[in-house]
Amino acid sequence: MMGMDVKLEYKYNVKDFGAIGDGKTYDTSAIQQALDSASKDGGIVYFPQGTYLTGTLYLKSNVSVIMNGKATILASSEIECYGADTHFNRYAGEHFLDKCLIYAEDCVNIRIYGGTINGNGAEFYEDGKPDIIHPMLFRFLRCKNIWMEDVNITMPAGWSTAFIECEDIHIRGIDISSRHYNGDGLDFDSCRNVFVSDCNMDTSDDCLCIQNSVAGRVSRNIIVRNCVMKSRWAAVRIGLLNSGDIEDVVISDCIFHDTLCSGFKIQAAESGRIHDVLMSNIIMRNVTRPIFVTSNFCKMGVLEESARDSSKGIDGLYFKNIIIDNTSQEKPGSMDGIFVVGTPERKIRDVSLTDIRYHVLGGGGYTKKEIPELTGKRPEYYELDVSPSSVLYARHVAKLEMNRFFYDLEQDDLREPIIFEDVVMAGE
């Protein structure tokens, strides 16, 4: 267990507090009693084999939750079983994600090992669309020293996790299957000292998201490695919600596959700065837009942000040793390729593409057309219509560096492979 010195004394067995574990009887009260009791002396709450139906649970400081490999926490399908005191989702217009199943606020030393967390997501949907409210699974607010290992997260109704203003987060061996609407995997908002490794994520929304909704607070020291990601949206998103700065991020030794929107989606839409991000040793297969970087101004969050400063945006993105193979796609996309686009007032600065091998499907029958400026718009690919290039399109970029950037096209393409507009290359 991550080398932690955890004494396996299961003093607080949830069944000793009255939990049934039959998947039909509500065990909320019994589980909460076990958590409350364990918090008094820093004990371990143990879930033996069984399925434990529950509404919102409140984690406490100095508590370890250890689940038998055949134990499942099953989320209630009744929205009345979810607490109203579990903070809120910080994206504007997304109040339907305010509730959550497992919540911790201002806690320290929380450990969760093993078992399955089933969000019962299908119960919140009708005809494939979300109901008015569909809860997240985990939400941690201002917590420190969080450990999660070997947990299977499946069928959340909303995001799988939200870590907000947390520090010292250690996640390893998590398996996430989240294919319902708003199905994010690991979300870190205004967090510091985050270590993620050896996880497998299959999501409908972003697999992993690094953002910062708090002006004046810096989100930093985030390391992600040895993960496999598949998504209908982005494998890794950095920013969009970025009132505060995001810096010192390392993502390495990962595989992205069968991802519809983007591999790396890095976006400065609010007033914060995104800088010093290193992405290396990555393999992408069938990822429509392998790299999608934008910088503009578009209010996304519900919190106040600092005054807009056009000198702050994106600077210091380093892509190194990346293999991209999209030749297995069924047909060329209208917005495929690598996309790095700022605005005249907020240029993207200092981007390095080194040791990139890009195998492109090609086959596009599009001619060059104007791409609208992103000013004031939510920077999504569907706002941009058709990419004028088949491999790389860059606009409003200062200091772009390309070293050993190789590409080939499986099929002929009417578009130019690479187009630069208002781009200054490194050394010029």
- For β-strands 389-411 and 416-425, DSSP reports them as parallel
Q: What sign does the CA torsion over 358, 282, 201, 175 have?
A: positive
Distance between CA atoms of residues 3 and 13, nearest Å: 23
The pLDDT confidence band at residue 4, using thresholds 50, 70 and 90, is very low
d(CA 309, CA 64): 44
Does a structural domain hold residue 234?
Answer: yes
Residue 417: inside a domain:
yes
What pLDDT, on the 0 to 100 scale, is given for residue 378? 82
CATH, residue 281: 2.160.20.10
Domain annotation covers residue 3: no
Once rounded to an integer, what is the mean pLDDT over residues 209-217? 95
**Which range is least confidently modeled, 124-133, 253-262, 320-329?**
124-133
Per the DSSP assignment, residues forming a β-bridge with 121 are none
> So what's the pLDDT on residue 208?
98
> 239 in a domain, yes or no?
yes
Res 1 pLDDT > 50: no
Please report whether residue 1 resides in a domain: no
Burial class (CB in 10 A: 0-12, 13-18, 19+), 132: exposed
Summarised one tens digit per residue, pLDDT across range 312-369 is 899 999 999 999 999 887 665 556 899 999 999 999 999 999 999 999 988 887 766 6
Give the span between the Cα atoms of 118 and 102, in whole angstroms.
Answer: 12
Q: Is 244 a domain residue?
A: yes
Determine phi and psi for 31, rounding to 5 degrees: -65, -40
Residues contacting 85, CB < 8 A, separation 6+: none
Q: Phi-psi category of 80—alpha, beta or left, where left has phi over 0 and alpha has psi -120 to 50?
A: alpha
Residue 33: strand pairing partners: none
Mean per-residue pLDDT over the chain, rounded: 91
* Domains contained in the chain, number: 1
State yes or no: pLDDT of 8 exceeds 70: no
Q: Residue 88: what pLDDT?
A: 81
Enumerate helices (H) and strands (E) in the chain, giving the number of each.
1, 32
For residue 46, the enclosing domain spans 12-425
Residue with tokens 């019962």: 120
Q: With respect to residue 87, please indicate whether it lies within any of the assigned structural domains.
A: yes
The yes-or-no verdict on residue 92 having pLDDT over 90 is no
Q: Which pLDDT value is given to residue 130? A: 60
Q: What does the pLDDT read at residue 171?
A: 99
| Predicted pLDDT at 3 | 41
